[in-house]
Chains A and B, each alone.
Chain A
């Protein structure tokens, strides 16, 4: 067995009196598609925000590919190879789809900002390759017809895919997806599931996703972590999670039956897409 790609130990983060994440532990192996679930406000997004460097943990350690990244700034963590999307899509709305992805490609450039001014050797090639890579990624996520449209004007599902393409442009080894299926219709959701698996295989990624749509979670995640009030209440594969008494009480409730019925309906306080605003 090789070392895990991501190891979170005793992660704690509070906001004032609220303990959003409380002593959370997680070990993700290379090449896995992992899921993080739990009721609204359980602290899932907070875990993402601390891993990706937007929040500093109050306690605990985050080790990525053998390197301690606890408290590193977000831009450096991206450089290390962790890319993410946001629960409330955060595209550069005024820029075109291609330009959005080109921004993602910027982190891997080798040339300096002033070099285009003096036509420094190789700088134009690099500019061209950032653009062609962006075009390529746009094709891979099937957004060609929108490539020169403003990102803000794209349909919802396309925006979600564009955000993933933009994250891929940073050439990550680890991808964090925060509710990728939120707001998608059943057909889009079905496509998304195939898409996520393909991403993992074609880009050699490890993927960790937060999702309320149990069909997606149970369908693609090889291992699932369940949070409730900031605490880990269960961990295991889909089958085990579905049978776990605490998970059923805290979160799944009757939504399992709903998913089993094929209705995909999300019931009550259980799984549904969060709509409340947040900082990231």
Chain B
């Protein structure tokens, strides 16, 4: 049996095993644990999508909260029934096509991703010609503009009141199925020659152009693909929490995902997944820091926001001592686990 077939079999086995684990978790775990598992899946989708833009595409983007907001709102607006929307919109009546449309959940997810991709295209065209810090500032501005737009378009988004009572479609299975699909797409694309090309554009744009690569086009492509998955992640989050409002999609959200990507390793999909597990757990576990607790016999009063301070310090330590993140630019390979050596020429 060739190494490739063996790897494919191992991967298939891992997927089945993951499915069984999910079934077990779904039946046996309490709601709180399941919620954390859900967040891990969604954060992993978001981290992978940002990694595509920043880690592989080399575009420092701070617009993720904006893409998520677009995805979450699009999905929520399409999945809710007309009566519900009519009741909920109190500031202004909901505009026409939205007032009558209702589509299935899966279609609303796709629509959320596509809407985010469409918006990302609109900002990519002018902004991706900028490099480095400018791109960061421009995308950050974009995310803020989206938030202001949502707050002020009450006839579409219900403004600052937000949307409540979104049906909780984003179950454990749905979230992990979406994660699986996202991973499939991203890994498959990156392991085709497209992956070499996008990394080439990141590493040396001049050389890439000399190789006949329309670097701008590939940047736009990576950016929009990332935004697409960010939109889906946002849509899932809305359907998980069942309530969305503009305040949710602030910079902190982007920051958390950025930290997952950096901690996991820029340019490593495996790293983003591992990073989501660790950081999602950590963010939950650190909640204790917000309430009074005892350390070394001293009672430390709870300070709201302490959690983020500890979180930030932990990340600072990571950046100081392991800048390339947990995985660096490496990916998980079955060969590691079973130490099958690839013969070197």
Contacts and interface: CB of A to CB of B under 8 A. Distances in A.
Interface of A: 52-54, 73-76, 78-79, 83-84, 86, 90-95, 99-100, 102-107, 109, 113-114, 116-117, 127, 130-131, 144-145, 147-148, 166-167, 169-170, 279-280
B188 A74 contact: no
A172 B344 CA distance: 31
Which among B185, B189, B208, B212 has the highest number of chain A CB atoms within 10 Å?
Answer: B212
Contacts of B221: 113
Contacts of B210: 52, 54, 74, 78, 83-84, 86, 90, 167
B200 A92 contact: yes
Given A94-B203, A147-B345, A148-B345, A116 B189 contact: yes
Interface string B97-125: 00000000000000000000000000000
Is chain B's binding surface mostly helix, strand, loop or mixed?
Answer: helix
A90 B194 contact: no
Contact of B211 (A93, A103, A147, A279): A103
A214 B345 CA distance: 37
A105 B200 CA distance: 13
A54 B209 contact: yes
A113 to B, nearest CB: 5
Given A94-B199, A95-B203, A127 B209 contact: no
Interface string B187-222: 011001110110110011011111111110000010
A116 B187 CA distance: 11
Contact of B193 (A52, A86, A91, A102): A102
B208 A103 contact: yes
List the 5 closest pairs (A to B, CB-CB), nearest first. A107-B212, A78-B212, A90-B207, A74-B209, A116-B192
B161 interface: no
Given A92-B207, A95-B199, A170 B189 contact: no
A145 B171 CA distance: 51
B22 interface: no
Contacts of B193: 102-103, 105-106, 109, 127, 130-131
Given A78-B212, A95-B203, A148-B345, 14 more contacts: A73-B209, A90-B206, A92-B200, A92-B204, A94-B329, A95-B196, A95-B200, A103-B197, A103-B200, A106-B196, A106-B197, A113-B189, A113-B192, A127-B192
Contacts of B215: 75
Contact of A170 (B188, B197, B212): B212
B213 A107 contact: yes
Contacts of A73: 209, 214
Given A99-B196, A117-B189, A106 B209 contact: no
